[in-house]
Amino acid sequence: MTAPAPDVEGLAWEGSVLRLENDLAVARVALQGAQVLTYAPRGGAPVLWLSRRAVFAPGKAVRGGIPVCWPWFGPHPTDPSKPAHGFARTAIWTLEAASRTTDGGHELVLSLPPRAGAACGWTYPVELNLTITIGSALGLALCSRNNGSAPVVIGGALHSYFSVGDVGKIRILGLEGKSFVDQLAPSETKSEPVPIGIAGETDRVYDDPGPQSVIDDELLARRIFIEKTGSRSTVVWNPWLEKGRRLADVGQDQVRDFVCVETANALKNVVTLPPGGEHRLGLVIRAEEY
């Protein structure tokens, strides 16, 4: 399924995936899930990781890039039979607009059809749009608007997979001293005074950690700056060897190639949208070489 080809220089369809190319960057965005699959600054290494075993099939979540988790994060809070991370990441979105930006990049606006969550019992009149900006930085802004007469509770995440030289040799800065729930021992709340290193399976939800994190990658000689808005949780995840082996679209040979640092509202940080209320979950990613 594809949308009509936009009459914008630098855009082309590859099936249901839109390829964007300009003087600043190259990226691919899928209609399924409104998912940014790849992004790299012009002449630079990929910033996002996409699994070599990613499955592209209707209703199947794609491993890598930036999945949109909405309207809940992780398991459904009351019904585990409903899809993990919500339905937005596997729904077919609509391309509403495509244009060039004043600095020579591209901007896309995608919307989620109102009935996309009907099969999951989601009947709330919440309008969802995602604006993606492709340039010297990668920007995403997920806007939820409650068009109904009753409050609606939403959670979610921009579930970013970042490409790294070796996950065991990176440091993640900006979360030092911040409290987190260790999802591997969820009864415990912890904090660490030093930058994060990954030395085993990691699944942490940081509470209100601040607006910026930085992935310092000595092997690739670069830093990835992650700036966020409308987010009170940051999730850090890597399955490591044993769990990675059990994930068919990851495998032990790829677990050291990525780390997830996710812009989220999770656990107690879900958002209540009042009638007519709006919430924006924003993310800007910028890579700088040493």
Active site residues: 159, 262
What is the token pair recorded at 208? Answer: 């209100």
Q: Residue 128 in contact with residue 144, Cβ under 8 Å?
A: yes
How far is Cα 267 from Cα 276, in angstroms, rounded to an integer?
24
DSSP structure string for 154-211 = E-EEE--EEE-S-GGGEEEES-TT--EEETTSTT-EE--SS-B---S-EEEEEES--S
Residue matched to tokens 């940080």: 269
Spatial neighbors of 78 by CB under 8 A, at least 6 apart, are none
Q: Residue 193 in contact with residue 177, Cβ under 8 Å?
A: yes
